[in-house]
Amino acid sequence: MKRVTLYSQSRRQGPYGRQLGQPTTPRPASSGAAQDTIAGSTAGEAGAEPPAPPPRIVAAWRRFSTRYARPLSLAATCLLTLAIVAGYNAVTAPRKLTQRDIDGAVQHTLAKQPMAPSRASVAYDIIRPSVVRVNQVGLENSDDTERAVGTGVVIQEDGTILTNIHVVAGAERISVTYFDGTKSDAHVVSVQPEDDLAVLKTDTVPDDLKPATLRSTRGLRPGDEVIAVGNPFGIGPSVSDGIISGLRRDYLSPKGKKAMSNLIQFDAAANPGNSGGPLVTADGEVVGIVTAILNPTEQRVFIGIGFAVPIENAAAAAGVSPF
């Protein structure tokens, strides 16, 4: 169908905008597009009010946002990011820990993974069944009051025990108390005065007696861990730990009556009552017999320097040569 061309038939306009000679009634259109155009023109001619212009502030904002679209978009993105970060921190920020929180965490950890025993504790558990209490007591049929207390270590299943001479010197009667509480009289079978060593043999031996494992001092170095086990001041069995401070030391008793050489120096606490007890490695093996402490004062207490006879000398005194 032939499309109708739309144009005005008049050559000039009237005083009020209407084209002179134009019919007041619109001519029918031959298409939808033409109808829309004519209808709009006719509506305007009919006096319909144009849409109200936007307020000034809205128009100004539109011009501003159009002109600065990119900076405004960037600023909005930054503000949104900051808001997200602030919200996340507010939700996830850790609260202040209390002592109750800390105690609970420690208890939870210990319950899941108990603390491993120390090396000194392990060594003590190994040597403890071989350590005995050595007492000087009254004569037979008299009171059993302790007159002196020392320590010894079992080195053979038959009840052979190493201790110091000064622990049993002058004893009227010697009593030994084993790990399981069994008590027995004992007697001296041999001595080695140059090393202050005495070998005892008991009359009664427990069925499950466990002798100590002896270890050569070869390979020992200053700084190696050791423990001393004994009955300091009669309190025991007690354990103290430290290190080897030196090797091949010489010792002169406070009154100058006794000189010994080739001793192990250690710093594990030892006091009267520790004498005759074992000096033990972290593996629970005996490397020496505690025999003396050095204190230049009149007090007989430990101030950091102890001495032990090497186990080679002690084993020789008992006729044992395990190395």
Catalytic residues: 166, 196, 275
Pairing status of strand 148-154 against strand 183-192: unpaired
The closest alpha carbon to 39, from 50, 52, 28, 49, belongs to 28
Cis peptide bond prior to 232, omega within 30° of 0: no
Distance CA 40, CA 275 (A): 124
DSSP 8-state code for residue 165: H
**Residue 90 class from Cβ within 10 Å (0-12 exposed, 13-18 middle, 19+ buried)?**
exposed
Beta strand spans in the chain (E): 131-137, 148-154, 160-164, 173-177, 183-192, 197-202, 225-230, 238-252, 259-266, 278-281, 286-293, 306-310
Alpha-carbon distances, residue 126 vs 132, 213, 226, 243, 309 (angstroms): 14, 9, 13, 18, 21
Alpha carbons within 13 angstroms on the beta-carbon side of residue 222 total 7
